[in-house]
Amino acid sequence: MHTTQLAGLLLIAGLLCACSADKPGAATAGSDNRAAATAATPSGDASAEDVAAAARGDVDCPADAAPNAARTPVDDIVGVRPGMSYEQAANAVMCSGPLLVIKPENSRGFEISTFGQTVRQGFSARFAEPRVHKSGRQIMQEMQRDAMARGMNARRQDMQPGQSKWFVATMGMPGHEKAISVAREQWFEQDRNPTVDSVEQALLAKYGASTERSDQGDTHQLRWAYDPRGRLITETSPLFNRCHGAADPDSGVSLSADCGVVVAANVIPLRSNPALAQYLQVGVVDQAGGYQALTDTQQGLRAMDAERRAQQVRDAGKNAQAPEL
């Protein structure tokens, strides 16, 4: 089965170490300006707005997001969808929030041979933080606080109310990479938390009737799974237990030519009031499209390397040094 063939090609998304020794590229929308800003390594305190302005470079908003074609699954998250070019996706993500800053992900990727080529396999985006000088004592206090929270099994919280973060996985030949999966986490503003039910209804209004709804602990989960022909997978389908996505931007996704678009959502409630939502995670992956992109990229890179070696042989016939015998 295609899924079995791809078992070793899991997208490593933060929880696992990098699989490839090649360095991914760092180009994104506005990359020249951001590279210059990074090279300067500014010092001194700065507001989050100033940090974001220096890192974002040129952003073209509103992003040009084409609507879904008729009778096809809804596959976007705030206008960002699989199939967008690396640059289009990066620009659209930054258009979703003025403080969002793109970061190429060097430690998350597919286990493929790049033959020395640079393949951009994705980027993350988070809110810019103010640049504030911290004393050694302050740093130690923060480390102790984080360790205590982990020891008490406190719910993971690496963002503040009102913030969001993204991860977009990309694949393709160098310079022509396209998004194959998108995931976003949104923390609702303090004292403006919507009800869990209203969030679920909003998801159903956008993505339509779901394949499955379930509760895992205190997390409310929804899934919209389609086959490669765009047909909704139901409980009677043999693909029901095989086509899954990942809502968490820190999780990995798998690819299979047997599955099409899969949308996954997690609604996490407030502990102080389970009827209210604290944050929302939504992820979308084009499994068949991603599988094909991964296969085509691997074949294309292999062909490029074969041509490189063949050219070296041709050059050797013209100017190679003769052995001394």
Domain that holds residue 21: 13-319
pLDDT of residue 135: 74
Tokens of 56: 């974002």
Provide the number of structural domains found in the chain.
1
Task: Look at residue 94 and tell me if it is in a domain.
Answer: yes
**Cα(23)–Cα(37) distance, integer angstroms:** 21
pLDDT of residue 320: 86
**Cα(262)–Cα(325) distance, integer angstroms:** 65
Residue with tokens 């237990």: 241
Q: How much is the pTM?
A: 0.81
Task: Look at residue 6 and tell me if it is in a domain.
Answer: no
Per-residue pLDDT of the chain (325 residues; tens, 9 = 90+): 444 444 444 443 333 333 333 333 333 444 444 444 444 455 578 888 888 888 898 899 988 877 777 789 999 999 999 999 999 999 999 999 999 999 999 788 898 999 999 999 999 999 988 887 777 776 787 777 767 655 544 455 688 999 999 999 999 999 999 999 999 999 999 999 999 999 999 999 999 999 999 999 999 999 999 999 999 999 999 999 999 999 999 999 899 999 999 999 999 999 999 999 999 999 999 999 999 999 999 999 999 999 999 999 999 989 888 899 9
Task: Look at residue 177 and tell me if it is in a domain.
Answer: yes
Say if CB 173 and CB 300 are below 8 A apart: yes
CA 90, 93, 99, 102 dihedral sign is negative
pLDDT of residue 32: 44
Say if CB 165 and CB 80 are below 8 A apart: no
**Cα(290)–Cα(284) distance, integer angstroms:** 11
In this structure, what is the dihedral angle of CA atoms 35, 103, 56, 179, given to the nearest 10 degrees?
A: 110
Task: Look at residue 324 and tell me if it is in a domain.
Answer: no
pLDDT of residue 48: 84
- Give CA separation, 163 vs 16, 98, 100, 152, 160, in Å: 25, 11, 9, 24, 6
Tokens of 41: 């390594």
Task: Look at residue 3 and tell me if it is in a domain.
Answer: no
Which amino acid is present at 139? I
Radius of gyration of the chain (CA): 22
Task: Look at residue 62 and tell me if it is in a domain.
Answer: yes
Task: Look at residue 215 and tell me if it is in a domain.
Answer: yes
Say if CB 274 and CB 155 are below 8 A apart: no
**Cα(253)–Cα(150) distance, integer angstroms:** 25
Task: Look at residue 138 and tell me if it is in a domain.
Answer: yes
Tokens of 42: 């500014």
Spell 207-218 as b/e; 16+ CB within 10 A means b.
Answer: beebbbeeeeee
